Chains A and B, each alone.
Chain A
Amino acid sequence: MMTKLKRNVRLVFLLFCGLFLSLLGYLTYFQVYERQKLIESSYNRRLWEQEESITRGTIYDAKGKVLAQTVEEDGKKERVYSGGEAFGPVIGYSSRKLGRANLEQALNGELLGISQQDPLTVLRQKVLGVSRGNDVYLTIDSQLQNLAYKLFNKRPGALVALDPKTGAVLALVSSPGYDSASVEQKWDSLSQDENSPLLNRALQGLYPPGSTFKIVTLSAALESIADLEARTYNTPGYVEVNGRVIRDYESFRAGNYDIKKAFSLSSNSIFVKVGLEVGKAKLFEKAQDYGFNEGLPFELPVATSRFPQFSLMADDVELAESSIGQGRIVATPMQMALVASAVANGGTMVKPYIVEKIVTPLGEVKGNSGFTIWKEPIDRMTAEKIKEFMVDVVESGTGRSARIKGIRVAGKTGSAENPHGKSHAWFVGFAPAENPKIAVAVVVENAGSGGTYAAPIAAEVMRYYLYNR
């Protein structure tokens, strides 16, 4: 009896060894596999708490003007926005009620100073009980931004202005905008407004690029058709592809044109012919070289511009439409600004960026270390040739209203047909042509021709920037 009893006691001990080992085992498993997920869980009140205790960093424009800051009054923290309507779609908001949007969302980790922290900093912050997030300096000049926004006069549309050499975003306008300061009060009307002011059109708006896409078609043609510039095209003012008639603009007269004039006067019929000769494979490849069908790297999310897969292109009609930026092809204003900046920059497309630098409360600066090349869609010679063509557009073609006194401007207009009414007015371009400092893309929704409605806005923005820089 006794020996059996003792054996059983030992068995009980083994049972407890197992039970306690399972406790330790599970705790270890938890630390290794479950922990991170729980720390980041939105149900975790520690996260909210941390946000409450941190004074959110300030957002400045390129010249040090405050756009958003957190002020503390009677122990209550309040986010104050001073950018006005032009900045709403860029800065966004950070609100208990509405959550976060745009830069306030994208830079949340930096503004709270909780991204990439070492444990010692965390401990110090907890012990001291107070902390401040990082300050963010943008590349945007708020004077330019406000001017550009006013030029839209509430008409739906968007503008992107870049420094073509560095990729720094100089203005990022989406019209109509909203004032971040009053977004909580006006939420219902803003979210139901049919002009969707909460949408950042410059980054999320997908429009048919219309004739501005002829820059891409021209790039492909210059590279694949050796005698392109020596040719003369005769056109009756329209072209028929598989029974589908594509017409030139009303102002375009039938006759003989070389490729430069065809580009300058934006002949649809000639560019359809050129596109058909280039072929869908090469045109598709060139569009991809320019960044179509690929996620655009930027601090804020950008919708992907689409060029239809050539294998899915039903017939020549689709290729014909694509050559002139119509059909199923869509692009964001940001994408078209990059197309212009690639031409401006000798064929090199740099990554756009909007954060100039981030300054920690201890004064450490996390800078944007120069530019990064994103794509090299064309070589320098082709870029120079296209630039010459684009200068001709502004000097004697459809883009004459983009002329600036004393400065040579390069550009391309577009009037994109769409099912929602009048054409979207497009203009992309840069200046000064010989040493480009600013590249822009403008779209005004359902306004009419690009030369009339978009080009003047681009010209005014470029003029202001170049004269007041």
Chain B
Amino acid sequence: MDSREEAIYNRSLAAMALVGFLSFLLLSVYRKPLDFMPFYGALAFLGVVFIGYFFTGWVLISSDKFLLLLSSFLAQLGLIMLCRINPELFKKQVLFFAIGVAFFIVASLFVKYLLRLDIRPFFYWVVTALLLLLPLLFGVEKGGAKNWLAFDGFTFQPSELAKITFAFYLAGTLKEGRIESLPRMAGEILLVLGLLVLAKDLGGAMLFYFTALIVIFVATSRADFMALGGGLAAVFGVLGYYLFDHVKVRIEAWLNPWKDVPGRGYQIAQSLFAIAEGGYFGTGLGLGRPDFIPAVATDFIFSAFAEEFGFLGAAAVVLMYFLLVYRGIRIALRLKDDFDVLLAVGHTVMFGMQIFTIIGGVIKLIPVTGITLPFMSYGGSSMVMSFASMGVLNGLWLKALEDENDDEA
């Protein structure tokens, strides 16, 4: 990292710390009686950020620090909203954040050192399928989707981990640049999708499907697969509309939420009211009404953020996510090995599609699907696995640099 980049990085870090201090101080003062909990939480958060910063600087020299910086900044914005919405969730989320940063480092190390081992793609597929099967057998239902595992008081969403293993699977099977056996691969992917549909995780199914489609295209350059996949998606969509009542509800609420605001259109209408109330500059932190928005801590946190931070804040968040996608693409372009390229693309596409699907959903650009907004939504699995995903990208980045050094030497 050259000194100019270093200076930009440090300035960004300072800006982030400043935003954090001001926001949490405001939340401390605004809550009556005076409560220092948010402030201590913020200190804990910044502590983790700095530890992560020094640790990556020590163990993983020349990391792509912007991955950690941008994701931490987004996590901080999410924490600010959570602290304001529900202090209990906030406390837990700070802990999740710390675990997430740890996973970032672990994933980086894993990819950098252990990926040299030749693991067969079939193994990743089995892991993915098992992860998705487990909750169906032993899981509990939360928010309409049966994709949670619970071990006394501690819940985990295996599908979040499955996103990572699925990306590994795709990169593994496609690293030769062609599909060895189309029926077999189609079968494997459809089984994964089937498990997600069975768990009623339609957002997840959509995400896995489009990620697979795009990675297949990148690997094979076959536009006909892309077209076929797109057509199939439309068929699935129409079938889903007629077969599943909850798909129908979602699509109708998207087409015209005002037809039935108290019923079907409720969620999306409340989300849109919040964004409308925010206007360009927002109501200001603590002055909006997130309590009117359903699932505000998880799926709809973006709407609450847009209400209090306005269009400008919301646009800034979208741009930050975009920068993360950009970093992922940048890493993919630097890599030499096909498997590595596909792995970077897989993670980036999975991540980027997730952002687009949930933000597009809450602003009514596309139908709402119940998935989380990485780093901002409340939830341990989402937070930890999003960081792990960034860690994988970082590990690939380190690998790219190393390979370049080897070439020079």
A residues less than 8 Å from B177 (CB atoms): 1, 4-5
B residues less than 8 Å from A49 (CB atoms): 289
Per the bound structure, the CA–CA distance linking A114 and B56 in Å amounts to 53
The 8 Å CB contact of B365, one of A10, A26, A35, A39, is A26
Cβ contact within 8 Å between A16 and B352: yes
Q: Is A254 an interface residue (CB 8 A)?
A: no
Q: Is B275 an interface residue (CB 8 A)?
A: yes
Write the chain A residue with the least CB distance to B306.
A27
Cβ contact within 8 Å between B292 and A127: no
The 8 Å CB contact of B292, one of A20, A23, A45, is A45
Cβ contact within 8 Å between A27 and B311: yes
B residues less than 8 Å from A43 (CB atoms): 258, 261-262, 269, 273
Nearest Cβ in chain A — how far from B285, in angstroms?
A: 11
Nearest Cβ in chain B — how far from A53, in angstroms?
A: 11
A residues less than 8 Å from B322 (CB atoms): 16, 20
Cβ contact within 8 Å between B356 and A8: no
Per the bound structure, the CA–CA distance linking A41 and B319 in Å amounts to 30
Q: Is A371 an interface residue (CB 8 A)?
A: no
Nearest Cβ in chain A — how far from B65, in angstroms?
A: 21
Cβ contact within 8 Å between B272 and A23: no
**A43-B261, A45-B273 as given contacts; A8 in contact with B218, CB under 8 Å:** yes
Q: Is B360 an interface residue (CB 8 A)?
A: yes
Per the bound structure, the CA–CA distance linking A9 and B283 in Å amounts to 40
Cβ contact within 8 Å between A46 and B289: yes
Stretch of B15-23, B42-50, B153-161, B325-333 at the chain-chain interface: B325-333
The 8 Å CB contact of A31, one of B280, B318, B355, is B280
**A6-B333, A20-B325, A23-B356 as given contacts; A46 in contact with B338, CB under 8 Å:** no
Q: Is A225 an interface residue (CB 8 A)?
A: no
Per-position 1/0 for B359-384, Cβ under 8 A of A:
11001110000000000000000000
Instruction: Mark out the residues of chain A between 6 and 49 whose CB falls within 8 Å of any chain B CB in the assembled complex.
Output: 6, 8-13, 15-16, 19-20, 22-24, 26-28, 30-31, 34-36, 38-39, 41, 43-46, 49
Nearest Cβ in chain A — how far from B357, in angstroms?
A: 10
A residues less than 8 Å from B311 (CB atoms): 27-28, 31
Per the bound structure, the CA–CA distance linking A38 and B278 in Å amounts to 11
Q: Is B341 an interface residue (CB 8 A)?
A: yes
Cβ contact within 8 Å between A19 and B356: yes
Nearest Cβ in chain A — how far from B394, in angstroms?
A: 18
B residues less than 8 Å from A8 (CB atoms): 217-219, 221
**A1-B338, A8-B221, A23-B318 as given contacts; A30 in contact with B275, CB under 8 Å:** yes
Q: Is A328 an interface residue (CB 8 A)?
A: no
Cβ contact within 8 Å between A23 and B275: no
Please report the number of residue pairs spanning A and B whose Cβ atoms sit closer than 8 angstroms.
118
A residues less than 8 Å from B217 (CB atoms): 8
**A19-B356, A39-B277 as given contacts; A9 in contact with B272, CB under 8 Å:** no
Q: Is B75 an interface residue (CB 8 A)?
A: no
Per the bound structure, the CA–CA distance linking A10 and B333 in Å amounts to 8
Cβ contact within 8 Å between A23 and B360: yes
Q: Is B106 an interface residue (CB 8 A)?
A: no
**A23-B365, A38-B272, A123-B284 as given contacts; A5 in contact with B219, CB under 8 Å:** yes
Nearest Cβ in chain B — how far from A43, in angstroms?
A: 4
Q: Is A63 an interface residue (CB 8 A)?
A: no
A residues less than 8 Å from B221 (CB atoms): 4, 8
Cβ contact within 8 Å between A27 and B261: no
Q: Is the interface of B mostly helix, strand, loop or mixed?
A: helix
Q: Pick from A2, A6, A43 the residue with the most CB of B within 10 Å.
A: A43
Per the bound structure, the CA–CA distance linking A53 and B354 in Å amounts to 39
**A2-B338, A20-B321, A126-B287 as given contacts; A27 in contact with B273, CB under 8 Å:** no
Write the chain B residue with the least CB distance to A38.
B276
Write the chain A residue with the least CB distance to B275.
A30
A residues less than 8 Å from B262 (CB atoms): 43
Q: Is B212 an interface residue (CB 8 A)?
A: no
Q: Is B192 an interface residue (CB 8 A)?
A: no
Write the chain A residue with the least CB distance to B307.
A46
Per the bound structure, the CA–CA distance linking A49 and B306 in Å amounts to 19
Q: Is the interface of A mostly helix, strand, loop or mixed?
A: helix
Cβ contact within 8 Å between B363 and A9: no
Nearest Cβ in chain A — how far from B134, in angstroms?
A: 31
B residues less than 8 Å from A26 (CB atoms): 360, 363, 365
B residues less than 8 Å from A44 (CB atoms): 273, 276-277
A residues less than 8 Å from B356 (CB atoms): 16, 19-20, 23
Nearest Cβ in chain B — how far from A19, in angstroms?
A: 5
B residues less than 8 Å from A9 (CB atoms): 218, 329, 332-333, 341, 345
Write the chain B residue with the least CB distance to A34.
B276
Per-position 1/0 for A418-460, Cβ under 8 A of B:
0000000000000000000000000000000000000000000
The 8 Å CB contact of B341, one of A5, A15, A127, is A5
Per the bound structure, the CA–CA distance linking A13 and B275 in Å amounts to 28
Q: Is B101 an interface residue (CB 8 A)?
A: no
**A12-B214, A26-B363 as given contacts; A19 in contact with B277, CB under 8 Å:** no
A residues less than 8 Å from B219 (CB atoms): 5, 8
Instruction: Mark out the residues of chain B between 128 and 174 whose CB falls within 8 Å of any chain A CB in the assembled complex.
Output: none
Per the bound structure, the CA–CA distance linking A264 and B195 in Å amounts to 95
**A20-B325, A39-B277 as given contacts; A30 in contact with B218, CB under 8 Å:** no
**A1-B338, A6-B333 as given contacts; A30 in contact with B352, CB under 8 Å:** no
Cβ contact within 8 Å between A39 and B315: no
Q: Is B349 an interface residue (CB 8 A)?
A: yes
B residues less than 8 Å from A20 (CB atoms): 318-319, 321-322, 325, 352, 355-356
Per the bound structure, the CA–CA distance linking A11 and B287 in Å amounts to 42
Nearest Cβ in chain A — how far from B312, in angstroms?
A: 10
Nearest Cβ in chain B — how far from A129, in angstroms?
A: 10
Write the chain A residue with the least CB distance to B315.
A24
Q: Pick from B276, B336, B345 the residue with the most CB of A within 10 Å.
A: B276
Cβ contact within 8 Å between A24 and B318: yes
Nearest Cβ in chain A — how far from B404, in angstroms?
A: 15
**A12-B214, A45-B292, A46-B289 as given contacts; A35 in contact with B315, CB under 8 Å:** no
The 8 Å CB contact of B287, one of A19, A31, A45, A127, is A127
B residues less than 8 Å from A127 (CB atoms): 287
Per the bound structure, the CA–CA distance linking A36 and B342 in Å amounts to 45
Cβ contact within 8 Å between A46 and B352: no
Per the bound structure, the CA–CA distance linking A38 and B289 in Å amounts to 15
Write the chain A residue with the least CB distance to B269.
A43
Write the chain A residue with the least CB distance to B331.
A9
The 8 Å CB contact of A46, one of B273, B325, B342, B345, is B273
The 8 Å CB contact of B315, one of A1, A27, A41, is A27
Q: Is B279 an interface residue (CB 8 A)?
A: yes
Per the bound structure, the CA–CA distance linking A364 and B269 in Å amounts to 38
Write the chain A residue with the least CB distance to B215.
A12
Cβ contact within 8 Å between A41 and B273: yes
Per the bound structure, the CA–CA distance linking A391 and B289 in Å amounts to 65
A residues less than 8 Å from B338 (CB atoms): 1-2, 5
Nearest Cβ in chain B — how far from A27, in angstroms?
A: 6
Per-position 1/0 for B194-224, Cβ under 8 A of A:
0000000000000000000010011101000
A residues less than 8 Å from B296 (CB atoms): none
Please list 7 pairs of residues, one from A and one from B, whose beta carbons are closer than 8 Å in the complex, sorted by A's number. A5-B177, A20-B355, A24-B315, A27-B306, A27-B318, A31-B311, A45-B270
Given A9-B345, A26-B363, A27-B315, 4 further pairs, Cβ under 8 A: A9-B332, A13-B326, A24-B318, A34-B276
For the complex of A and B, 4 pairs with smallest distance between CB atoms:
A38-B276, A8-B218, A13-B329, A43-B261
Interface residues of B (CB under 8 A from A): 177, 214, 217-219, 221, 258, 261-262, 269-270, 272-273, 275-277, 279-280, 283-284, 287, 289, 292, 306, 311, 314-315, 318-319, 321-322, 325-326, 329, 332-333, 336, 338, 341-342, 345, 348-349, 352, 355-356, 359-360, 363-365
